[in-house]
Amino acid sequence: MAAKTRFKDADMQAVIGWVLRIGVIVSVSIVLIGGIVYLYRHGGEAPDHKHFITQPGFVQLGGIIQGIIDLHGRSIIQAGIILLIATPILRIIFSAISFALERDRLYVVISLLVLLIIFLSSMSGHIG
């Protein structure tokens, strides 16, 4: 029975490793594509140093999705960054699942507490 538990744990650790690798590779690829699109559209523009124009910050998710549909480089870059931020959060979710399969209640609670802290801190952040 112990061999099956170790096998499940090793499998879950492999899945977690692949989630991290794929998440980073995909997010970096998306940011790179967004950078190429941005430079293609705006690379030839001369900067206007006489007037300070602020760049828009992160917009809401609907605006990012619409920007991706419209092929705005900045929105594509923002989507890649959001995916990069979501990658370790997915790792915590998979870890909680792994601990639940092992019936390790303490670490399930700790993992869920970490997720709750991340969620609350992201919801209470002030933008702008």
Q: 52 vs 78, which has greater pLDDT?
A: 78
Q: What is the mean pLDDT of residues 92-108?
A: 89
Q: 55 vs 115, which has greater pLDDT?
A: 115
Q: Which of 3-12, 16-25, 74-83 has the lowest mean pLDDT?
A: 3-12
- DSSP secondary structure, 56-99, as one string: P----HHHHHHHHHTT-HHHHHHHHHHHHHHHHHHHHHHHHHHH
Q: Which residues of 81-93 are buried (b: 16+ CB within 10 A; e: fewer)?
A: bebbeebeeebbb
Total number of residues shown for the chain: 128
Asked if 76 and 34 count as a contact pair (C-beta separation under 8 A), the reply is: yes
